[in-house]
Every structure is written in C-alpha cells, then in structure tokens.
Structure 1
Amino acid sequence: MAGMLDNFPTRRQRGEITLQTLLLLFAGTLLTLTLVVAFVTSYGYFRDYVADQLAAHARDGATATGLSLSNAIDGADPIASASLIDAVFDSGRYLAVEYLGHDGEVIAGRRMPLQANRAPEWFVSLAALPLPEAEAEVVRGWSRLGKVRVVSHPGRAYDDLWHISLGLLLSALVIATGGLLGLFLLLRRTLRPLKEVEAQARALGQRDFRKRVSIRSTRELNRVTEAMNQMADDLGQLFEGQGKLIQHLRRVNNEDPVTGLASRSAFDQRMKVEVESEEKSAPGVLIMLQLAYFADYNLAYGRDEGDQLLRQVAGGIRAFVARHAESFAGRRTGAEFAVFVPGASAADVRIWAEQLVRELDGIYSDLSAPMDAHVHAGLAVARPGDGIRVLLAAADEALRAAQQRGDSCSLLLPDPGVESHHNMETWRTIITQAIREDKLSLWLQPMVHGERQTLVHYQVFSRIESAEGPLKAGLFVPMAERLGLVSDIDRMLLTRALECLERHPERRLAVSLGSSSIASDSFRDDLLTMVAKAGRTAGRLWVGIAEVTIQHHRKAVSSLIRELSRLGVPVLVDRFGVGGVPFSYLKRLPFRAVRIDHSFIHNLDRHDENQFWLESVVGIAHSRGVKVYATGVETAAEYSVLCRLGIDGAMGYHLGRPFAADT
C-alpha cells in the first residue's frame, strides 16, 4: 500500500479527465440534446402553424375578391375590376392579387417583391416558408367570367417566426446555463471529499498519517472517506509499532540495558571502524573509566541502587560526549566504561579526561558516602597502523596504573609518538588558513547498487591542504566541529559540489553536513540561497544530515528539510542507527533515504543480530518509500549480504576507492 502511495503522481496528469468534468460533459451533452430537440420541435410546430395561417389568409382573400367581382362589381368591366383589386391588395398582406380571364390574361392585378421587415435574409432563406396560392371563380349568373388568384405575403410570418425562434433560443440558453451552473455547483459540493481524499493519499505517500477528511457528502463518498481515515489511523499505528520494533532491536543488539550506552560489542565494532578503516583511520584517544569499589557498593546498597548509580554515571558520560563532536561511549563490563574521542590530541583529551573524572567522582561520592569512592581513567592514543587490540591493551594498562595510585585520577602512559599530534590551537591555525586560502578539494566515492554495481551517486569527501600535505575529513572535521569552524568548511564544500554538478551534468553527488552547520541560522539561509540559485542542478545533490543532529536540533532540521524538499533537493539521514533516535521521525519529515552507519556493516556476514536489524530497517523503510544505503563495505561477503537484504546502494573500499573530483 505504501509503495503505491509513494508512486502516487505529484503533478497534474495529462490526457486524463476528471470525474467532475466527465459528469458535466455527460449532463451538459444530454441537456443540450434535449434543448435542441425541444427547439427543433417547437420551431417546426410554429413554422407549420404560420404556413397554415398563410394558406387560410390566401383562401379568404381569394374567396372575398371572387365574390365581390361576381356580385358587387361588374366583373366584365376592367376598370371597376382594377379598382377592386387595388383596394383588396392595399388593405391586406398579399404578395400578388390578380384577376385572370378565360385565356389566362391578366385583366387586373398587383404584385410586390418578397421581403421581411425584421427577419434577416439568411433566416428567410433558411425558413423557406411555402407561398400559399388560392383561386376563386368570377361568375355572372351562369356565365364564367374568369378567376381570381391570390398569393399571401409571408413577410409578417417570417418576422413572427424570427421572434419566436429568438425567444426559443434565448430560453434554451438560459435553461442550459442555469442547469449547467447548478450541476457544477452540486458536483463541486458533492465531490469535495474526493479532493480531500486525494490530499490525504498524497500525505500518506509522504508518511504523514495525521490528515483526516471531515467533509460530509453522499452516503457512498462518506463510506470512502471513513475507510480512508481508518486506513490512515491503521497505517500510523503500524508505522509507530514498526518504529518501536526497530528501536527495540537496535537497543537489544547495540545498547547496554542498564545505562543505555553502547554495548561492549557495539562500542568495539564502531571503534574498530574509526581506528582501522582506511578512509577514517584518524588519530584519536580512548578513555577507559572504572568505578573503584563498585562491588562493595552493590553489596551494601543492593543491585537496584547499583544500577541507579551506573545510570547517573552514564548520564555524566553522555553529557561529556555531547560536548565533543564525533565522540561516542559505551559500557564494557560492570562499572567499566569507555569513551573514544576521534581527531583529538592527547594533550587536549588529558585535560578533558581530568574534568570528566572529577564530575563522575562527584556523582559517585554523593551516592556512596560514607563509603570510599574513586574513579580512575586510563588513556591511550590511536595511531595509524595500530589495531583495536593494541589500543584497548594500552588503555587497559594505563587504567591499571591509575588504579595503583589510589585517588581518583586519569593517566596517559608515556608514548614517544603521543605528543606529535596537533593540539587545539594548531588545528585552529591549520583549518583557518585552509578556509582563508580556499584550500579545499573534493574527493568522490561511488555508491553502487546490485550485483552489477550500477552507479547510484557519488559520496563527497573533502580534503584540506596543509604543510603536512592533504588532510582527510576524518582528521579535521571533528576538530572543526569543536572549534566552531565546520560551517565555513561546509559552505566551501557545497560551493565546490554545485560547481562540480554544473561541470558534470551526468553526476549525482551526496554531501554530509555538520551538526553545527545545521544549527546555524545563517548557514541554513546560505544553503537555501545556494540551492535556489542552482536551479535544476540542485536536484542532483543529496544532502545528508546525521541522525544525532536530528535529535539535538529537531526544529531547525524540520524547517530545513521541508524547504529543501520544496526546492526539489533530496535529503537523507546520515549515520543511521548510532543516534538512538526513535524511528518515527521518518513519519513526519520527507526524507528520501537513510544511510546505515558503517559500524553496523563491519563483519555483517558474521553478525546475525545486525543482519536481522538491517533486514527490518530495509523492509519498513521500503514500505514508506524510503531508500536504504550502506557505508563502509570492506569485503565481498559484506556486500553479498547487503544485496541479499535488498539494500538500495552501498559504498566502501571494496566497491570503489575515493578519487579526486577533477580527475
């Protein structure tokens, strides 16, 4: 049903007639035929009536003239006969009055041409009334003197028939116009629910189940509207239930049931992508946190109080993650937590970790008094070439060393390569200089579909030039977010992308925007202005908004998506699945696609839970007309599973490496 609604035409159909027009044409044709038949019948009746009157007039004139010549006037006297004929001709409406002898000679007579006073000549020719001719004998005693021939003049008859025809035609037009107007108003009022049903169907196609049809009409249409309203309610409830199912599956597979943070397997999988993926492989710092004496706390206060403590500590960690873009956290086991901060230097994270330890120590101490309470943290730096095992071992070693010190503290073990990472100020200088000198380039990675790997579009990645050479987005974007410079980066990115689309009409590009950019009023205005100026070119640009951004900036995201949709720009949900956002936002906002985060794709062929979750997402998204894309495909086995699940597009190093947009 949803697929049919999604294919519902959004533009006026050509070559098809509306029901209202069809009914008007039928009723109008029937009414016109009826009036035409009535007009022709009435016209024929009046024409015959007029013709009969002319014939009677001719007979009466001939009879009266013949009697006058036979009795009152000497018919043998031509002068007297001519006087009578003139008197009769002048007193009546005759075309000809003649007195004929035995041999057919005209003894006396008068004639006049055929003409009408008011009826036009074309009507006279069309009506063609017969010219009734009547004759009467003129006798004297037993002698036959001749005969009188009288032809009535039809001019008056033509005028009367013209007036009657005009009256009939005017009456027919008035009746037809009034009837059609009344029928139009009646149909318009009767069929109004159909337009509301059409609007409701379009809303259902856009996954908006709130619209209802309240207009009442005929019994049949009322049943249709009631059925549509019921279907909208059922679909809304179904969508809500499916959304809750997806959310539940995601929580079961990827969230810790007590704290709501990422589970150990989900955290490790996401961190593995961040650390080992070739495109990401950005330096970052792993923070391992542990609450000391938590087992004693559980024994003293009970499991419920222990879970409450873990939830409050998780709230403090969640607040820390919200302050540092791109970072994420998880619970590993018991009272041990982990936070990964990508793209940050060891010096900066050391300071942030000390602050986090103090905050968590305050929470722990307040709840555990008078028991001893300490929070320890171990830090380890992720470097290119080191896998997740090396990183976890280094952080665990640092954590054990911090625990040996006793009091709450954080510790980063000495590492010769740690201090080589840039600090915040160095990053500010690098990024600001790149923005000022416009040193940003585009790299494209193909998004493909199916076993033949048909191109869907290109995902855009950015690089900036620095003294060290080109820097990947995975390196500088998290720092740009923290420094409040990502909006300037995204403006440059959009400008380059639109220029690329203008140069390459065959391409379709997808860009991902930062959370700070979406939250900025000025950036949203600039984005809409650029898109509006680009015209049809912007229809080949996909705009990606991270799921976490949707959660944190719902009002800004809603207005932006609706404006972009109005301008014909497709919008997709980026990094779908890691934000923990209820799936119901797809019901309210006109998203065209979702892009599954790469952490769900890594080792997908060996992860049955993620396969089941992804299959559910694909089914529900497709039922709403939303496409599903995947990122981070590194092996043929992963792509094979995605194809089997019906994914609409996927990208990764197995399917195609990024390349410079200008090549």
Structure 2
Amino acid sequence: MTLYRQLFIGTSIAFLVLLVLLESIYIANARFYMQEQLTSHAQDVATSLGMVLPPSLADRDLLRAEVTVNAVFDRGYYQSIVVLSTRGEKLIEKNLALAPASVPVWFTQVFPMHAPSAESLITKGWQQLGRVIVTSHPNFAYKQLWRTSIEATLGLIVLYVLSLLAIHAFLSRVLRPLKDIEQVAHAISERDFQQIKTLPRARELLSVVKAINSMSAKLFAIIAHEVKQATRFRDESRKDVLTGLDNRRGFEEYVHALLEHGADMTSGVMYMLQLANFNAFNISKGYKDGDVLLKEVADGLRVIWPKQDMLRCRINGATFAVMVFNISREEAGRLGESLCATVGAIIQEHRTPPAVAL
C-alpha cells in the first residue's frame, strides 16, 4: 500500500470518528433540549389552565371547564390532562393513547425520552379549588429530534465528502515531490541524470530533494568523467600518439571488422609505405626531426583524397598503411601515384637520403 493511501485512509477514518463524535454530542444535546422543552411546555400549560379554570370550577360549571381543557388537549401535544378536586377526585380527565412514535424503534431506544408531567393549583383568591396535571406527549419531540438528526447527518456527510476532497488535494500536493523523487531515481538507474525542478515547501522533503539533485549531479559528473577517460583510453589504444593516425591495433580491428561484415565490399587496395633508412636519419638528424618527419608524412596522407572513406594508419616505426575499398583499378593506380608524390615531396623538403618504398 502506498504512503498516500495509508495517510488518506488514516486521516479519513480519524475525521470520520471525529464527525460521528460531534454528531453524537449534537444529538445528545438536542435530546436534552427537547426533554427540557417538554417539561417547560407541560408546566406552562398547567400554569395557564390553573389561571383559566378557577371561574368555571368556582361556579361548578364542569362543562365550561371541560370545553376549556378540550381546546388545549385537542392540539395533540399532550398525553393527558387531569383536573382534580381538592379531595383528589377526578373532575376532568383527557387521555391520548400512546401510539408508537413515527421514527425507527432503534432511535427511540438509543435516545429515549420520557413523558414529563407538571401540575398547577387552581385557586380563586385564597380559596383552593383543585389542581391540574398536564403530561406532555413525547412523539412530537421524537419527530423533531429525528428530523434534526437527519439534517445533521446529511450536513456532516457533505462536510465529510468535502473534507476527503480537501485531504486528497492536500496529500497530492504534499506527496508530489515523492513521485518526482521516484521518477528521478528510476531515471538515474537508466543513466538519465535528471533534476527535480519543483522544490517542496516542507523542510524535510526539501532536504531530500536537494540531496537527490546533488547526488544526480555528482553521479553525472563522475560517470561523464569515467566515460571521457574510457574514450581516451580506447582512442589511445587504437591511435598512434605521435601522428594521430590509427596504430597497428586499430589497423587489425578495422581489417577484422571488414572480414566479418564486409558483404558490400567488391574491390579494394592496400598500400604499405616505408621510409627506407629512417634509422640512419634519426641518428644523423636526431629523433626530434624524425618525429617531425613522421608527423608531416601523416598530415600528407590525410590530404590525399580527404572525402574518400580510407584507412590511414602507422603500423610501426616508419611504416604506414593506406587501405581503401570499392574503387577501380585506375583509381587505385592514381592513388598510388598520389601517395608516392606526396610523401616524396615531404622527404625532399627535408633533404634526406631515405627513399619511399611501396
């Protein structure tokens, strides 16, 4: 599982637990408020009836008293209203059957609400005429509490979804450098030394990104140096240090490659040039002048047919080789004449006794 998923799941679960806890506290407080409202409502109605019923009871007009009670009871918010005499006799009694609340049963079990009762004395002046007892019906409170719970739940679900989107955007932004680090690490393993251009704001990730960029740059420099060294060593192994032409090893590798992959070769010619008496020239003129002569001969070989694909090499000492393919006999003859003329002219300039041998 990726770090993003772990952080996303952990954060979402923690936030979900927090929202469930907040909703539980909210519903519990709403239930407590509803319960207090039922009690307060029952007491208010009992007090109001205690102030309205005295004229009817003083005149012993129970019909008028019952009409007054019915006007309040028929609203349906009360489970019972009972009017008692001073001796405890029931003068008026109104009861509403306790029907099941129109909410899920489990909801009433999790958030139970009892039917509160309140009473008030019925007096006229200093004369006590009786008392009235009012019991509120909890079904209406259950409906209100259920509706409040549904609205709160929907609101919290919307908030939770928005929070998940915010967490997704936040984690994607924070963890984006890790993806860049992963891509750069794979690129480095493929010898592609990239750099992470977008620097994160988090200090820890910023340090890691800087370390990766520094490692990539250093590896690139090290490998570039090693490649340069390897190329130089390879060239030195195939090139003659003095003249810059291919040496004997380069000559042999070239011939070997032609023998293996020379399917397109139809004709060819190879000339071996050797400066006769070169050792005597070195002894008489010095090795420094001998090196100068060899360099000038190499330069002369380069200017002969410069656009032609031709192998020019120094085999050893004063021996050179020139090899070219896919030319005619006439062209081969002209090439030999050019070689003799060019090298001979160089030797004449040095006024040396060695002759050119082909």
- TM-score of the aligned structures, taking structure 1 as reference length: 0.43
Change in CA separation of 1:91 and 1:368 when aligned onto 2, cut-off 3 Å: same
What is the CA distance between 1:185 and its match in structure 2?
Answer: 3.7
CA–CA distance in structure 2, aligned partners of residues 213 and 291 of structure 1: 60
SS of alignment partner, residue 191 of structure 1: helix
Residue 317 (structure 2) aligns with: 334
Contact 2:243 2:298 (C-alpha < 8 Å) held by counterparts: yes
1:35-88 superposed Cα distances (whole Å, 9 cap, x missing partner)? 221111011111111012112322443455467556742596552342232133
1:190-229 superposed Cα distances (whole Å, 9 cap, x missing partner)? 3332232222222212212243434242221121111111
Aligned length: 346
Contact 2:103 2:146 (C-alpha < 8 Å) held by counterparts: no
Residue 323 (structure 1) aligns with: 309
Contact 1:85 1:110 (C-alpha < 8 Å) held by counterparts: no
Contact 1:81 1:108 (C-alpha < 8 Å) held by counterparts: no
1:172-211 alignment runs, 5 A limit: 172-173=156-157, 175-211=159-195
CA–CA distance in structure 1, aligned partners of residues 148 and 272 of structure 2: 105
Residue 290 (structure 1) aligns with: 273
Q: Which runs of 5+ in 2 are unaligned?
A: none
CA–CA distance in structure 1, aligned partners of residues 351 and 6 of structure 2: 85
Bigger Rg, which one:
2
Contact 1:99 1:106 (C-alpha < 8 Å) held by counterparts: yes
CA–CA distance in structure 1, aligned partners of residues 195 and 305 of structure 2: 37
Contact 1:71 1:140 (C-alpha < 8 Å) held by counterparts: no
Change in CA separation of 1:193 and 1:34 when aligned onto 2, cut-off 3 Å: same
Contact 2:82 2:93 (C-alpha < 8 Å) held by counterparts: yes
Residue 57 (structure 1) aligns with: 41
What is the CA distance between 1:100 and its match in structure 2?
Answer: 7.3
Change in CA separation of 1:292 and 1:304 when aligned onto 2, cut-off 3 Å: closer
Task: Name which of 129, 132, 135 aligns with 2:115.
Answer: 132
Residue 86 (structure 1) aligns with: 70
Residue 354 (structure 1) aligns with: 333
CA–CA distance in structure 2, aligned partners of residues 359 and 72 of structure 1: 148
What is the CA distance between 1:93 and its match in structure 2?
Answer: 3.2
Q: Which runs of 5+ in 1 are unaligned?
A: 1-15, 377-399, 404-663
Change in CA separation of 1:227 and 1:307 when aligned onto 2, cut-off 3 Å: farther
Residue 213 (structure 1) aligns with: 197
CA RMSD of aligned residues (A): 4.6
- Higher relative contact order, chain-length normalized (CA < 8 Å, sep 6+): 2
Contact 1:312 1:363 (C-alpha < 8 Å) held by counterparts: no
- TM-score of the aligned structures, taking structure 2 as reference length: 0.73
Amino acid of the residue matched to residue 31 of structure 2?
R
CA–CA distance in structure 1, aligned partners of residues 330 and 323 of structure 2: 15
Residue 30 (structure 2) aligns with: 46
SS of alignment partner, residue 336 of structure 2: helix
Amino acid of the residue matched to residue 107 of structure 2?
L
Contact 1:264 1:333 (C-alpha < 8 Å) held by counterparts: yes
1:302-350 superposed Cα distances (whole Å, 9 cap, x missing partner)? 2453243144245357957x637xxx553212342234557x5xxx453
Change in CA separation of 1:173 and 1:147 when aligned onto 2, cut-off 3 Å: same
Contact 1:330 1:337 (C-alpha < 8 Å) held by counterparts: yes
Change in CA separation of 1:215 and 1:136 when aligned onto 2, cut-off 3 Å: closer
Residue 226 (structure 1) aligns with: 210
Residue 109 (structure 1) aligns with: 94
CA–CA distance in structure 1, aligned partners of residues 156 and 323 of structure 2: 86
Task: Name which of 251, 267, 277 aligns with 2:235.
Answer: 251
Q: Which has the higher helix share?
A: 2
SS of alignment partner, residue 262 of structure 1: coil
Contact 1:261 1:314 (C-alpha < 8 Å) held by counterparts: no
Q: For structure 1, which segment, 150-159 or 68-77, has the greater mean C-alpha deviation from structure 2 after superposition?
A: 68-77
What is the CA distance between 1:230 and its match in structure 2?
Answer: 1.4
Contact 1:97 1:151 (C-alpha < 8 Å) held by counterparts: yes
CA–CA distance in structure 2, aligned partners of residues 107 and 269 of structure 1: 126
Residue 292 (structure 2) aligns with: 305
Contact 1:98 1:107 (C-alpha < 8 Å) held by counterparts: yes
CA–CA distance in structure 2, aligned partners of residues 290 and 162 of structure 1: 109
CA–CA distance in structure 1, aligned partners of residues 147 and 342 of structure 2: 103
